[in-house]
Each structure stands twice: as C-alpha cells, then as structure tokens.
A and B are shown apart, each in its own frame.
Chain A
Amino acid sequence: MPNLKELKNRITSVKSTQKITSAMKMVAASRLKRAQEAAETARPYAERMGRMMTSILENSGAIIGGNKLLSGTGSEDVHLIVVVTSDRGLCGGFNSSISRESRRHIRDLKAESKNVKILCVGRKGRDQLKLEFGDAILETYEGIGKTGIKFDEAQGISGKIIEMFDAGEFDICTIIYNRFVSVISQEVTSSQIIPVRLPEDDVAKAKNESSGDADVTASFEFEPSEEEILTYLLPSNLNVQIFRALLESLASEHGARMSAMDNATRNAGDMIDDLSMIYNRSRQAKITSELIEIISGAEAL
C-alpha cells in the first residue's frame, strides 16, 4: 500500500490537471459557439454561388470545355492534396483521423504511381505526415483561425492553388478536412475542388428551387459572355469552398476539443474519487493499527 504522503500528492496533481482540462473545455465551448456562427453566416454566400454556377452550367453545356478549372488539364498524373488540420493538439481524434485518411489516400495514389504534392493547413497535419511524405509537403500554413477565419486567409490559400494550377504543377486538387456534424461528431470529408465538381446538396437545392418556378430554367442573359463570367466565377468559387472548409474545420476542432476535454475532466474526477477512497482507507487502517499497538502495549504492562 502506497504511503499517505504519496497518495496526497497524486490527488493534488490530478486535481490541478482537472482544473486545466475543465478550463480548456470552457474555452473551447465559447470558441465553438463563435466558430459555429461564422460557419452559418457563410452559408448563404456558398449556396447562392452554387446556384449561379448551376445556372451557368445548365445554360451552357457547350462551353465547359473552354475552362481548365472546370474540364481539367486532360491528364490526372499529379495530385495536390490540401490537408486541413489544427495548429494545436489536445482535441481527441481530430487530427489523427485526418492524417489517417490523408495517408490512406496518398498511399492509394502512390500505388497507382501518381505524383502527389501536399499543402498543409495547420501544424499538426504537417507533423504527422512529414515522417512518411516529408518531401511531398510543399508548404504549411500556420496560425490560421487564431482569431476566427478571415476570408483573406482562404483567398491566400486558393490564390496559391490557382497559381500552381496555372503553372501546370498539378492536375487534380483534393481537400481533406473535418466537416462539422455536431458538437460531438465530425466527419472526415475529402472533396475534389479542381477540376470543379459542384457540391451535390447545393445543386440539388438549386434544382429544387428552380423547379418550383418554370421561368428560371429559361435561358439567362450573360454579361459579358458565359466564358468570361466563368473565368471570374470559378476562382471565386474555389475561394468560397476553401473558406467553407476552413470554417467547418475550425468549428469541428473546437467541438472535438470540447468533448475531449469534457471526457478528460470526467476521467480526472473518477480518478480523484478512487484515490481519495484508497487514501481514506489506508489512513483508517493506519489509525486502527496504531490503536492496536497502543492497547496491546498497555495490556502487556
């Protein structure tokens, strides 16, 4: 049986750990609320952008071949993977599930002897991937989302992606991020952003809305031409998609951290209970044995 002093020290240390985890939980909860609001306010823009894209594509199937962001480069040898993780840990399986999925995806691609390049958003993703794919990582963005995600930050990343695409450095771009489902669950999502594929829920929504009104399917006038609009719209759409992924990822991160810290706080509580039980029991045992010693000493006299 450990001695009382040791037990007492352990209880104090577990208690202070519990204080830290419960404080982190509170912080994550308040940040989660903000991140969730941000994700919600960004939704109308993405929805309407999707609707515009659909209107154009429905009206002008013929010109799709004209834009590389839409039609692709014709080959699919070089893949760019954007891995969105957090900068900081202590958020349960948040980062490891992303890097597990990325690793699986990259290995699959390598097995098909494709060339893979990686852009990391968030330090944790880079740390976990650099051992195996260190030479494929082109760049790491850190410190994103410290004070909420700014649209500029998303623009910076998508600007870089488009620059690389225009330079012919890759053919297909995929983004892997955690989609926010609820506070306690995130879903690892991998979506192809170049060549563009419309997110299906947006398309379905746009279709539903337009089917209620026969006029909307009538043809649009475009100013300037469809093609020119597309050259503006497609990069903007990429911005929006990345912005959305970053927002979802941030909300997921805080959700994951909150539930991880909640668990940790609860586990610490259980541990404190167990340790206190042992502490009290051994204290009583000690008192009892001292009493017996005294009594038997007195009897011997």
Chain B
Amino acid sequence: MANIAKTKVVFELVTPTALAVSEDVDMVVVPGIEGDFGVLPGHTLVLTTIRPGVISMYIGDEITKSLFVEGGFAEANPEGCTVLAEGVTDIAEISAEDAQARLVAARDALVNSDDTTADNEVKVAEAMVIAAGGNATQH
C-alpha cells in the first residue's frame, strides 16, 4: 500500500441504533480481542472481534475523542476502519463510582448464576472501571 495520497483514516463507529461517529482522523486505536491495534492509512485488511475497552481517535498526536465500547467487531482496510459496536459511551460521561457500582452488581450476579452473559457483564464492568480510572489519572 504505497499510496501516499491518502493521509487520513476514515473512521466509522456504527451502533445498532445509529451511525455514532464518521470522521477523518490520523489514527485510531481499537481494542482488538488479541490486543489493541492502531489503524493508520494504508492498513492491511483485518477483521477482528473487539473486547470491552476504549477506542481512541487521534489527530496529530492528540487524542481527540475516546469512546468506551462493550464489544463488537472491527474491520480495517487501507481507506479506514469500521467498528460495529454495542454499548458505546463517551469516556467523559463515565464516572469511576458508576463503573465500580456496575462491577459490584455484575460480580453479585455472577455469584448467583454462572451463565456467559453474567460473566461477560463482569468483563465489561471491569474494563469500564479501568477506563474510568485511566480517565481520572489523565487529568
């Protein structure tokens, strides 16, 4: 992909109810199931599931927007990156207390049942707490 003309990544974040984000950015970092990966222009074709975590959009070296996602799928191609996600929240709207409360509730639910949804909810809440904590230390 020696295509120099393309310098921006078209990043689309789509939820079942809306096209949440559609922007040109310099780089976007997506929490893939096997580790975070950054998408720059000319990225190779990748299809992956994503784990609960934070998507960061970069313009220059600055993070312009961070969004927490509960899971979904990401597709990267030379032109850009498309993420299909469920449960998208702007990281600025997550408070550490809420995330902690959710984690406690999720762990309680997991004690009472051992199905995969409860297990999943704990993972989401854990990621949320980390995301909220990370947010707190940034400022």
Indicate whether A and B interact: yes
**Chain A interface (Cβ within 8 Å of chain B)?**
38, 41-42, 44-45, 48-49, 51-52, 55-56, 151, 154, 215-216, 218-224, 228-229, 232-233, 236, 239-240, 243
Contact B47 A222 (CB under 8 A): yes
Picked from B33, B77, B82, the residue with its CB within 8 Å of the CB of A223 is: B33
CB distance from A264 to the nearest CB of B (A): 33
- Which one of A151, A219, A220 contacts B16 once the chains associate, using CB atoms below 8 Å? A151
- Listed from nearest, the 5 A-B pairs whose CB atoms lie closest are A223-B48, A220-B45, A151-B16, A44-B19, A41-B18
Decide: B46 and A41 in contact? CB cutoff 8 A. Answer: no
In-complex Cβ contact of A233 among B18, B73, B86 (8 A): B73
Q: How far is the CB of A65 from chain B (nearest CB, A)?
A: 20
Task: Give 29 A-B contacts (CB < 8 Å), ordered by A residue.
Answer: A42-B16, A44-B12, A45-B15, A45-B16, A45-B19, A45-B84, A48-B14, A55-B75, A56-B47, A154-B16, A215-B45, A216-B45, A216-B77, A220-B45, A221-B46, A222-B47, A222-B48, A223-B32, A223-B46, A223-B47, A228-B49, A229-B47, A229-B48, A232-B49, A233-B49, A236-B72, A236-B84, A239-B16, A243-B16
Between A and B, how many residue pairs show CB distances below 8 Å?
Answer: 79
B62 at the interface (CB under 8 A from A): no
Instruction: Enumerate chain B residues within 8 angstroms of A55, measured Cβ to Cβ.
Output: 47, 75
Report how far A170 CA is from B51 CA in the complex, Å. 31
Query: Given A215-B45, A222-B48, A224-B48, 14 other A-B contacts at CB below 8 A?
Result: A45-B84, A49-B73, A52-B47, A52-B73, A52-B84, A151-B16, A216-B77, A223-B33, A223-B34, A223-B46, A223-B47, A229-B49, A236-B72, A236-B84
- Report how far A53 CA is from B82 CA in the complex, Å: 14
Q: Given the interface contacts A45-B14, A45-B15, A151-B86, does A224 sit within 8 Å of B34 by beta carbon? A: yes
8 Å CB interface, B67-107 against A: 72-73, 75, 77-78, 82, 84, 86
> With a CB–CB cut-off of 8 A, which chain A residues contact B47?
52, 55-56, 220-223, 229
**Which parts of B9-52 form the interface with A (CB within 8 Å)?**
12, 14-19, 32-34, 44-49
Q: Which chain A residues border B46 with CB–CB below 8 Å?
A: 220-223
Chain B residues with CB under 8 A of A221: 44-47
> Bound complex: CA of A240 vs CA of B19, how far in Å?
14
Which A residues touch B49, using CB under 8 A?
223-224, 228-229, 232-233
The answer on a CB contact under 8 Å between A240 and B16 is yes
A41 and B16 alpha carbons, distance in the complex (Å): 8
The answer on a CB contact under 8 Å between B75 and A52 is yes
Report the minimal beta-carbon distance from A147 to chain B, rounded to whole angstroms.
13
